Amino acid sequence: MASITGSSATAMSCSFKELNRVSNLKTSSLSFKGISYSSIRVNPATRRLSITCAAKPETVNKVCDIVKKQLALSAGTEVCGDSKFAALGADSLDTVEIVMGLEEEFGISVEEDSAHSIATVQDAADLIEDLISKKA
């Protein structure tokens, strides 16, 4: 059985095929079979529910620090999970350098296909956690 918590959500089926009513729900959390997923977003324009398994905050913070260092961003520049590399001024070479820095810091190897799918700090952190869990 799955449950969803937030400002307003009702009658969610276990298969997630039917969402009867969602109003003013922007971000929430989901618990399914004892595992909690803290990143659920509803896009108000399309009313689509997006559930992602967010990386640990420590991982996101480390990725933010690496991105700031690789892009030589000022201390006042805010970088968070939703920050897009392109919006921070990164070109394709910068992104390769960021991935190389992440590989070195976390002791992982990112395949080229996976590296192309990284557009945000959160994407990178999620990929890192996935690769670390597969490595263990």
- Does residue 124 contact residue 65 with C-beta atoms inside 8 Å? no
d(Cα 4, Cα 28) in Å, to the nearest integer? 7
Q: In angstroms, rounded to a whole number, what is the distance separating the alpha carbons of residues 44 and 32?
A: 24
Catalytic (active site) residue 65: no
| Residue that is written with structure tokens 């108000």 in the block | 44
User: Letter for the amino acid at 1?
Assistant: M
Q: Residue 123 — φ and ψ, nearest 5°? A: -55, -45
Give the rounded distance of the alpha carbon of 6 from its chain centre.
Answer: 19
d(C-alpha 38, C-alpha 97), whole Å: 29
Q: Could you say which of 91, 123, 126, 130 is catalytic?
A: 91
> Which residue numbers are catalytic?
91
